Structure 1
Amino acid sequence: MSPASDPKSLQADLDLALRLAEHASEVILPKFRRCAVEIKPDGTEVTAADRSAEEVIRDVLGRERPGDGVLGEEFPERVAAEGISRQWIVDPIDGTAAFALGLPTFGTLIALMEGGEPVVGVIHLPAMGETTYAAIGLGCWWRPSPGEPAERVRVAPPTPLGEAYASTTNPRSSDIVSRPGQVRYRLGTLIRSAGKFRFVGDCVQFALVCRGRLHVAFDSMMAPWDIAALVPCIEEAGGVASALDGSRPGIVFSRSVLSSCDPELHREVLRVLTPDETDPE
């Protein structure tokens, strides 16, 4: 039996992922609304809290899973030992823009990949105190605050697009805002087609899909550390996850994610978002 199919091994890894998120939270919260913001060469925000939290995560993994690989947003990749196909993918603060503005809608993402597939995922929201987490075959769970019992969660029942509540982070790479070379997803059409639409953003919106509060959430410009933790949570909650081209294999490295509460809605959202070949660049 491989580790990915061993429930005891997966539970141990999930427990570790939850502890990693808690350790990160202990570093992040004292700096919340008290931290200077820098702009990285790619134009994204970074703070001392991002770096300190990832250092703590890496230190713990170095002690408890020394042979596993580690890929994170702020520091170089640590390659797994020979013969080990496990890699932790971490984003200490997903939604640094929100963190920098003093908004509580940021999260810590912890994932474990095994054999190229995400098998453990944790979406922890330090400022809100809540955590959504999952491991393959063990379901998706939501803990509303530290110390409270977790409850198993599922996505909303099948819902037509005209009644669906949809969300994204921002209008980048769309028919509203785009740069040369970016796909112009038809966000404007989706906004008009959905029952309700909000720019909830970042990992919070995907956690809300897992809990049945949103029917659709997507982002068009993502990195592996933005994606990996989301996928087990969405799928273990009974939802559908794919890249925005509709593909599922290799989703962690696809640079986009669409999550929906049911397959039919998922297909409809893909149809609405996908640009026509005749759309101008």
Structure 2
Amino acid sequence: MSTPSQFLDFALHLAHRAEATILPYFNNHTVSFKSDGSEVTIADKEGERVMRELITQTFPNHSILGEEFGEQTATSTHSAPGSSSYRWVLDPIDGTAWFTLGVPLFGTLVALLEDNEPIVGVIHLPGIGETVYAAKGMGCWFQSRRTVSEEVSAPDPIRVKVRSPVTIEEAIASTTGLHSTEITHNPGEIPYRMPDLIRQVRKFRFCSDCNQHALVARGKLHVAVDTLMNPWDVAALVPCVEEAGGTVTNLAGERDNIVFGGSLITSCGDPLHSEVIQILTPDPAS
């Protein structure tokens, strides 16, 4: 039986093996489109394939859920969840749009669930050499390799914490985009009131996908919002923010079954967290 520390080490290994596969395709790839219109490259598929092979070799009784190849049990690949209590959740390139534009603000997400509860999370940003990672009960850590050369080794990781709780008027907030908002429903069904949030916070920024939640964990942002999320977008973020002392729910304010909650808000906690949800929630009469 592996320990949380060993699982975390393996998750970091997966992320760095994916990096070695993905980065050669950066600024050197062909873009195709999925049935939902989202972009995909060979780097997405090969990055996930490498991670899946390593998991299957190391933990053959664990199941796998990934953005590119769906659900896989120890013996087959299909849409139903596997029987193992452990499930790896993978997103080889979170922010494929940034990747295809040649902007290095994409991430690789690796998570381990135990009975659908995230216990390990890695947010790795290969293009800028930054990693935020956590395991349940072990805190959240940040490491930067941006200045590493052959003569200079990587700096030691530092433990990170969210910012102190604030009110809405003091908050620095972010979101990835405006889908499922009053501005544009497509994609999405709920017209969250993003303009109201933008008007009420002290400072608002659009931020790149998983990186905005990593910045909450690092104490750089007070709150980050994603109105539409898939399980592979969410799973790795939860342990990182919670182990940094933050609050994580979907936009209905629910923590239970968070990986499959469909949306995400991460923050430094209340009163801000509840205020943001209240502001974003559409009026039932509208």
Range into which the TM-score falls when normalised by the shorter chain? over 0.9
Q: Deviations over 1:77-104 (max 9, x none)?
A: 1125786300000000000001011111
1:80–1:86 CA contact under 8 A, matched in 2: no
Structure 2 partner of 1:69: 63
Which range moved further: 77-86 or 155-164? 77-86
**Inter-partner Cα distance in structure 1 for 2:57 and 2:101:** 34
**What RMSD in Å do the two structures reach over aligned CA positions?**
1.4
Matched with 2:151 is: none
Task: Classify 1:179/1:278 alpha carbon distance in 2 versus 1 (closer, same or farther; 3 Å).
Answer: farther
Deviations 1:84-126 (A, max 9, x none): 3000000000000010111111000000000110000000000
Q: Cα gap change, 1:62/1:209 in structure 2, threshold over 3 Å: closer, same or farther?
A: same
- More displaced 10-residue stretch of structure 1: 179-188 or 99-108: 179-188
Tell me if the contact between 2:180 and 2:188 (Cα under 8 Å) persists in the aligned partners: no
Which segment is superposed worse, 266-275 or 158-167?
158-167
After the TM superposition, which parts of structure 1 deviate over 4 Å for at least 4 consecutive aligned residues?
80-83
Structure-to-structure mapping, 1:7-26, within 5 angstroms:
9-26=3-20
Partner of 1:88: 88
For 1:17, the aligned partner's letter is A
Counterparts of 2:188 and 2:110, CA distance in 1: 31
Q: Is the 8 A contact 1:80 1:87 kept in 2?
A: no
Who is 2:40 aligned against?
46
Deviation at 1:222, TM superposition (A): 1.1
* TM-score under structure 1 length normalisation: 0.94
The count of aligned residue pairs is 273
Once residues 124 and 101 of structure 2 are traced to their aligned partners in structure 1, the CA distance between those partners, rounded to angstroms, is: 19
2:277 maps to 270
**Cα shift at 1:76:** 3.2
Distance 2:127 2:187 in 1: 36
Q: CA deviation at 1:43?
A: 0.9
1:38 and 1:269 map into 2 onto residues whose CA distance is: 36
Partners of 1:113 and 1:218 lie apart in 2 by 22
Identity across matched positions, percent: 51
Aligned to 2:230: 223
CA distance in 2, matches of 1:177, 1:199: 16
Task: Please list the CA deviations of residues 127-148 of structure 1 after superposition, one character each: whole Å capped at 9, or x if unmatched.
Answer: 0101000000000000011722
Q: Unaligned regions of 5+ residues in structure 2, if any?
A: 76-81, 149-153
Structure 2 partner of 1:166: 173
Letter in 2 for 1:242: T
Cα pair 2:56 2:74 within 8 Å, conserved: no
Name which of structure 1's ranges 34-43 and 130-139 shifts more when overlaid on structure 2.
Answer: 34-43
Task: Tell me what 1:56 maps to.
Answer: 50
Q: CA deviation at 1:180?
A: 8.5
Whether 1:118 aligns to 2:112 is: no
SS state at 1:119 partner: strand
* Corresponding position: 1:139 with 2:139: yes
CA displacement, residues 220-272 of structure 1 (integer Å, 9 cap, x when unaligned): 11110000000000100000000001000011011110011112110000110
